[in-house]
């Protein structure tokens, strides 16, 4: 009997021990060995979980390039029932199948959110340039009715990612961020930097990365699309404030060839009285291709760069300049970077030292891309940028080819291993190097970077990403809206595109007695693109083949010129609204360019590609189809686009730009809407036919909105906001917080700013102007507000003096 008891005790001991060894509690969660896979669950906070998976027994060290948040102590209840290990915070439940290693996520109330597919993780070993690595895959099961968005910018022309197959490798016009958000209220960040295939099929949704030491992803529960974006920014960094002047109008082209030409453009805008805040100098100010990106004005046509910048500043404008991630063999940077083995081997732009098209390969340029993953290389990069350009008073950086151009895919090594292993994170590191170094030497001028590519976490580096060298075509314009929306849904809030498209060679043929900016087909496309751009985070005109300055399109009193000027003035009138929306991004993790699905519970907007909210009050429905001229399909790439002999099939037709047209607009349900132009009130939940003209696109204001408008100016800071019009759109309660600071510098981080909260009580028809909070040097002590009640039943206007104390205005 004693022997039997002893045997039973041993069996119980070994069984308990075996079960206990299946998982181990850790300070952040738990480690599990499921078959041949090690699984670790780390709670970064009650709503954010990191999952690491690797072949059993394989040790590795992974430090994220994107994630900067440190895990915080999280109270967890950990229990086991049969083969399911449960980890519960007060916000999230994570269940791990101890047999398969599959993980399922649910709310504390038991609502299923996302589940890995059983046997959905795989590791295929291979040799990565002398180091052992894996091709890693993780599959998930999505609910058939949920919608997902994000993954950066794609030129697919679609908003929803359901059914998509996307090969995520950074390119000229595709910027990939492996973060998606779901209408079920969660976000998913796949923390891998190598080329990655995302595929959503009926049976599973998967990420498959070419190279990884492990599977590494983050699940975050935000409760909404906005909430999930906020979680991602908490994980990877918050977006700083841009200077007010970056939200004005910017003029550019490929390229201004002399100092006098560049300064002359700003002077011409001032003479015409057309607002302008920025001018951009594109490439080759450094001279020939062997001196590529020398970060000095070696081109003799830029004879006095310090005076050039000073002349622009004296006209109250700012200047940005093109810099690249590559260097010619005759530059100082090349020689210094070569000494520390910080130059890549693959072929990049420009391929020839001869500045003619097509490239003459008999005279190779020798240009090589530098290694931004190397801290010493980033310091070298900034040393020359600071000395050669920033010290002259340059205001902003146009960082081109930050993906970068890679023409032959030759194997290259970086400071962190093979180039392929970290390829997609190149823009994060190159942009971050400039931001960190400029902030280290100056706090008087906010960093502003215009860049061609992006990766997860880049929002923390003061960068606005543009959509690359896209075509000048109507289809490309249509593609830009879902491209910008998905990029914004990837937690990076600042995005823009080349107004009119970059490659416009097909419009240089003579048509209707005009070519280039006189070609009616290009004129219509340009105006509609510019009207769209007025409602993006940066309004910037740029391209090759066809000049884009307003005076190229005619003169005041002519329909196209007047339409361009009207849109620019409209942009400036909205600066108080836009700058306050920027503060909402910085302080509350908001998003400026908003897919309708973010704000409306309406099935019809789940995959709406051609409308969006700009801020939380303005619905924008750009005109994205030709109404006056034939719509010509134009296709080109970075290779073919430089061929100036392109032509189109446009034929001469009568064009009357004064003729009214119409387009259809869908107004989301759940609110009433006001036509911005006519103030007509319209019920939501319906498609309407909207009359349009060449100088107007459909704009609608949501009921309950409070919309501030500013004075007419020639540049953003010309006039103080001492007399703003505050428009109140009745039909619902609403509020708006007006943000102000010194417009530049980083004193706002120390509390040097103010906010004024406006609250509308729709039932009582009363607007409360709250007591001002905060202060900053130069703040207005008193000011006037003209309050305008925008109800279409009656129009009431009240002028009030405001001294910072609460006021109630009855309307």
Q: Looking at the annotation, which residues are catalytic? A: 400, 403, 469
Contact between residue 602 and residue 591 where contact means Cβ atoms under 8 Å apart: no
What does the alpha-carbon distance between residue 320 and residue 281 come to, in Å, rounded to a whole number? Answer: 6
Single out the residue of 184, 258, 219 nearest to residue 93, CA to CA.
219
Take residue 566 and report the two structure tokens written for it: 């009207």
Cis peptide before 404 (omega within 30 of 0): yes
Token output for 256: 């201004």
CA–CA dist 775, 752 (Å, integer): 6
SS3 letters for 202-238? CCCEEEEEEEECCEEEEEEECCCHHHHHHHHHHHHCC
The tokens for 101 are 């290693």
Q: How many CB atoms lie within 10 A of CB 570?
A: 17
* Pairing label, strands 681-683, 495-496: unpaired
CA distance 509 to 644: 10
Cβ-based neighbour number of residue 141 at 10 Å? 17
Note the helical H segments in 182-331: 225-236, 259-272, 305-314
3-state secondary structure of 429: helix
**What is the chain's Cα-based Rg?**
28
Query: Are the C-beta atoms of 556 and 458 separated by less than 8 Å?
Result: no
Enclosing H/E stretch for 766: strand 766-769
Measured distance CA(646)–CA(629) in Å, rounded: 19
Three-class SS string for 645-657?
CCCCCCCCCCCCC
User: CA-CA distances (angstroms) from residue 291 to 323, 365, 387, 430?
Assistant: 12, 9, 17, 20
Chain position carrying tokens 């001279």: 287
HSE-up of residue 519 (Cα within 13 Å, Cβ side): 27
Q: CA dist 629 to 552, 561, 632, 651, 697, Å?
A: 19, 17, 9, 9, 17
Q: Is the dihedral of CA 451, 454, 460, 466 positive or negative?
A: positive
Q: Closest Cα to residue 658, out of 696, 704, 684?
A: 696
> CA distances (Å), 110 to each of 88, 114, 153, 422, 580, in order?
11, 12, 34, 38, 38
- Which of 4, 23, 422 is closest to 194 using CA atoms? 422
Task: Characterise 575 by phi-psi region: left (phi > 0), alpha (psi -120 to 50), beta (else).
Answer: alpha
For residues 614 and 468, give the distance between their C-alpha atoms in angstroms, rounded to a whole number. 22
Distance of alpha carbon 213 from its chain centroid, rounded?
A: 29
DSSP string, 573-620: HTHHHHHHHHHHHHHH---SEE-GGGT---GGGTT--S-EEETTTEEE
| CB 189 within 8 Å of CB 218 | yes
Report whether 191 contacts 213 (CB < 8 A). no
* Backbone phi, psi, residue 643, to 5°: -80, 105
CA distance 365 to 329: 8
Task: Please tell me the distance from the alpha carbon of residue 639 to that of residue 636, in angstroms, as a whole number.
Answer: 8
């Amino acid at each position: 009997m004693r022997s039997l008891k002893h045997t039973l005790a041993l069996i119980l001991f070994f069984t308990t021990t075996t079960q206990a060894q299946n998982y181990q509690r850790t300070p952040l969660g738990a480690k599990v060995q499921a078959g041949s896979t090690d699984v670790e669950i780390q709670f970064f906070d009650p709503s954010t979980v990191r999952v690491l998976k690797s072949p059993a027994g394989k040790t590795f060290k992974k430090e994220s390039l994107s994630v900067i948040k440190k895990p915080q102590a999280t109270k967890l209840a950990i229990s086991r029932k049969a083969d399911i290990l449960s980890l519960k915070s007060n916000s999230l439940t994570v269940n791990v199948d101890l047999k398969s290693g599959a993980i399922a996520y649910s709310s504390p109330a038991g609502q299923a959110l996302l589940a890995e597919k059983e046997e959905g993780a795989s590791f295929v070993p291979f040799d990565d340039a002398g180091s052992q690595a894996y091709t890693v895959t993780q599959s998930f099961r999505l609910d058939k009715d949920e919608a997902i968005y994000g993954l950066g910018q794609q030129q697919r022309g679609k908003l929803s990612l359901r059914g998509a197959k996307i090969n995520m490798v950074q390119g000229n016009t595709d910027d990939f961020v492996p973060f998606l958000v779901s209408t079920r209220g969660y976000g998913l960040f796949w923390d891998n930097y190598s080329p990655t295939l995302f595929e959503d099929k009926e049976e599973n949704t998967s990420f498959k990365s070419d190279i990884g030491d492990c599977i590494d992803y983050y699940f975050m529960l935000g409760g909404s699309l906005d909430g999930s974006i906020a979680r991602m920014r908490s994980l990877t960094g918050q977006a700083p404030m841009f200077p007010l002047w970056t939200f004005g109008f910017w003029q550019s082209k490929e390229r201004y060839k002399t100092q006098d030409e560049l300064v002359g453009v700003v002077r011409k805008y001032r003479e015409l009285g057309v607002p302008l805040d920025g001018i951009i100098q594109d490439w080759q100010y450094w001279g020939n291709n062997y001196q590529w990106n020398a970060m000095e004005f070696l081109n003799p046509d830029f004879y006095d760069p310090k005076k050039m910048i000073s002349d622009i500043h004296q006209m109250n404008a700012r200047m940005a300049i093109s810099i690249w991630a590559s260097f010619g063999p005759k530059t100082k940077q090349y020689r210094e970077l070569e000494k520390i083995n910080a130059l890549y081997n693959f072929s990049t732009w420009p391929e020839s030292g001869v500045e003619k098209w097509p490239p003459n390969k008999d005279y190779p340029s020798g240009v090589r891309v530098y290694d931004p993953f190397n801290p010493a290389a980033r310091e070298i990069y900034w040393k020359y940028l600071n000395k050669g350009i920033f010290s002259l008073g340059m205001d902003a950086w146009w960082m081109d080819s930050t993906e970068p151009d890679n023409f032959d895919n030759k194997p290259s090594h970086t400071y962190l291993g093979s180039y392929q292993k970290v390829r997609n994170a190149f823009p994060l590191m190159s942009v971050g190097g400039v931001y960190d170094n400029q902030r280290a030497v100056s706090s008087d001028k906010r960093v502003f970077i215009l860049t061609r590519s992006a990766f997860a976490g880049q929002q923390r580096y003061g960068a606005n990403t543009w959509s690359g060298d896209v075509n000048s075509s109507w289809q490309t314009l249509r593609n830009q809206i879902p491209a910008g929306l998905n990029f914004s849904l990837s937690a990076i809030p600042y995005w823009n595109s080349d107004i009119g498209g970059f490659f416009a060679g097909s419009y240089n043929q003579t048509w209707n007695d005009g070519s280039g900016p006189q070609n009616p087909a290009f004129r219509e496309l340009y105006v509609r693109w510019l009207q769209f751009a007025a409602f993006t985070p940066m309004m910037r005109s740029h391209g090759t083949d066809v000049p884009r300055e307003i005076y190229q399109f005619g003169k005041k009193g002519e329909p196209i010129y007047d339409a361009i000027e009207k849109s620019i003035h409209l942009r400036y009138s909205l600066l108080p609204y836009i700058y306050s929306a920027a503060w909402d991004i910085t302080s509350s993790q908001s998003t400026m360019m908003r897919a309708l699905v973010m704000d409306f519970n309406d099935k019809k907007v789940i995959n709406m590609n051609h409308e969006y909210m700009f801020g939380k009050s303005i619905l924008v429905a750009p005109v994205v189809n030709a109404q006056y001229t034939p719509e010509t399909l134009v296709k080109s790439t970075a290779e073919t686009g430089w061929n100036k002999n392109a032509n189109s099939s446009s034929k001469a037709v009568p064009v009357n730009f004064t003729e009214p047209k119409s387009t259809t607009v869908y107004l989301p349900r759940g609110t009433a809407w006001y036509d911005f132009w006519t103030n007509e009130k319209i019920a939501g939940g319906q498609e309407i036919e909207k009359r349009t003209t060449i100088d107007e696109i459909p704009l609608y204001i949501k009921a309950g909105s409070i919309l501030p408008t500013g004075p007419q100016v020639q540049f953003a800071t010309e006039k103080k906001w001492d007399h703003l019009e505050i428009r109140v759109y009745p039909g619902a309660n609403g509020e708006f917080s007006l943000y102000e600071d010194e417009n530049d510098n980083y004193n706002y981080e120390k509390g040097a700013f103010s906010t004024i909260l406006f609250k509308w009580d729709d039932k009582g028809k009363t607007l409360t102007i709250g007591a001002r909070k905060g202060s900053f040097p130069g703040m207005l002590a008193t000011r006037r507000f003209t309050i305008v009640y925008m109800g279409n039943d009656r129009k009431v206007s009240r002028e009030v003096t405001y001294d910072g104390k609460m006021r109630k205005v009855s309307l």
